[in-house]
Amino acid sequence: MKRLSLFNVVSLTLGFTFLYLPIVLLVIYSFNAGRSVAVWGGWSTKWYGSVFESQQLLDAAWITLEVGVLSASVATILGTMAAIALARHGRFHGRTLFSAMVYAPLVMPEVITGLSLLLLFVALNMDRGFWTIVLSHITFTMCFVAVVVQSRLSSFDRSIEEAALDLGCTPFMTFFRITLPIILPAVISAWMLAFTLSLDDLVIASFTTGPGATTLPMKIYSDVRLGVKPEINAICSLMVAVVTIAVVIASVLTKHQEVERERAERLAANAP
């Protein structure tokens, strides 16, 4: 292990300060006993209690979760199907155009995505609310799923599927018994990505929402415009905690897999 030079120490400190100072401040102030968000009034956890007493916040959190789970699940199915079509069926007509179009929403400004979806829903005369948010989130998270799954499929040995066909498995069953189990980790992380994106989204949800459907980011944003209340600090800290736990679990799982693989490879190398 090389020792860190002074330069490395300084750049690391600066980098992490930029990244985490605001979040650390947020978390610290969520434990502030005082009403003011700027003046420290001693330690307290009372704002966490009041978060769980605020029906509005709880409703918003519940809607956000529902939207996230529903849209991530549908987006994962559709995105995986698109990825397979793109990665597998080589040179079908219009493939280049199709693959470019799948990726376009990645770089599309959210305002434009949101506005165009709004126009669509208006044109279709759809009642805006919970389901229009779900549909919009499926639309914009699907391309992320497609990208993640397709990159896994590109390193997939095609002959494994051919072996299954050769052994008498139908193409349909081959997908469920061979392809899906092998790409499952990528599909799961695609789902988590889609879920997180849906959880975070403010812009597209604001465009496509209607009466009675307020997601947590929308609720926080509208509350903050009337002045930052200590409850907001608490709920944001909770979101940070949830995301952190998810990321830690994901990386522990990945690390565990790596260790397992290394152990297996040593076992194989020592085999007679």
Partner 1 sequence: MSAKALGPVRRKFAPWNDSSAVPLIQIRDVSKAFGSFTAVNSVSLDIYEREFFALLGPSGCGKTTLMRMLAGFETPSAGSISIAGEDLAGIPPHKRPVNMMFQSYALFPHMSVEKNIAFGLEMDRLPKGEIAARVEEMLKLVKLEEFAKRKPHQLSGGQRQRVALARSIAKRPKVLLLDEPLGALDKKLREETQFELLDLQMALGMTFVIVTHDQDEAMTMADRIAVMNHGQFVQISPPAELYEQPVSKYVADFIGDINLLEGRVTKNERGHIVLGSEVTGGRIEASGETVAGLGDKAWFAVRPEKVSIDLQPPNDPTVNTASGTVWDIGYVGDISVYHVKLDNGGTMRASIANTRRVVERPISWEDKVFLTWAPDSGIVLTK
Q: Mark residue 148 as left, alpha or beta (left: phi above 0; alpha: psi -120 to 50; beta: remaining).
A: alpha
Shortest approach of partner 1 to residue 268 CB, angstroms?
Answer: 5
The residue from 12, 222, 242, 265 that contacts partner 1 (CB under 8 A) is 265
Per CB under 8 A, which region of 70-78, 79-87, 146-154, 264-272 contacts partner 1? 264-272
Binding of partner 1 by 166 (CB under 8 A): yes
Residue 38 vs 268, nearer CB to partner 1:
268
Shortest approach of partner 1 to residue 256 CB, angstroms?
Answer: 15
Three-state secondary structure of the chain: CCCCCHHHHHHHHHHHHHHHHHHHHHHHHHCECCCCCCCCCCECCHHHHHHHHCHHHHHHHHHHHHHHHHHHHHHHHHHHHHHHHHHHCCCCCCHHHHHHHHHHHHHCCHHHHHHHHHHHHHHCCCCCCHHHHHHHHHHHHHHHHHHHHHHHHHCCCHHHHHHHHHCCCCHHHHHHHHHHHHHHHHHHHHHHHHHHHHHHCCHHHHHHCCCCCCCHHHHHHHHHHCCCCHHHHHHHHHHHHHHHHHHHHHHHHHHHHHHHHHHHHHHHHHCC
- Total residues binding partner 1 (CB under 8 A): 24
Residue 5 vs 159, nearer CB to partner 1:
159
Residue 248 vs 264, nearer CB to partner 1:
264
Binding of partner 1 by 169 (CB under 8 A): yes
Per CB under 8 A, which region of 57-65, 93-101, 165-173, 186-194 contacts partner 1? 165-173
Shortest approach of partner 1 to residue 80 CB, angstroms?
Answer: 17
Here's the x/- map for partner 1, 234-263, by CB under 8 A: it reads as ---------------------------x--
Residue 186 vs 236, nearer CB to partner 1:
186
Q: How far is CA 21 from the centre of its chain?
A: 23
Here's the x/- map for partner 1, 172-201, by CB under 8 A: it reads as ------x--xx-------------------
Would you say 209 and 215 are in contact if contact means Cβ atoms under 8 Å apart? yes
The residue from 9, 160, 252, 253 that contacts partner 1 (CB under 8 A) is 160
The residue from 4, 10, 165, 249 that contacts partner 1 (CB under 8 A) is 165
Binding of partner 1 by 100 (CB under 8 A): no
Q: Return residues touching partner 1 (CB under 8 A).
A: 157, 159-160, 162-171, 178, 181-182, 261, 264-265, 267-269, 271-272
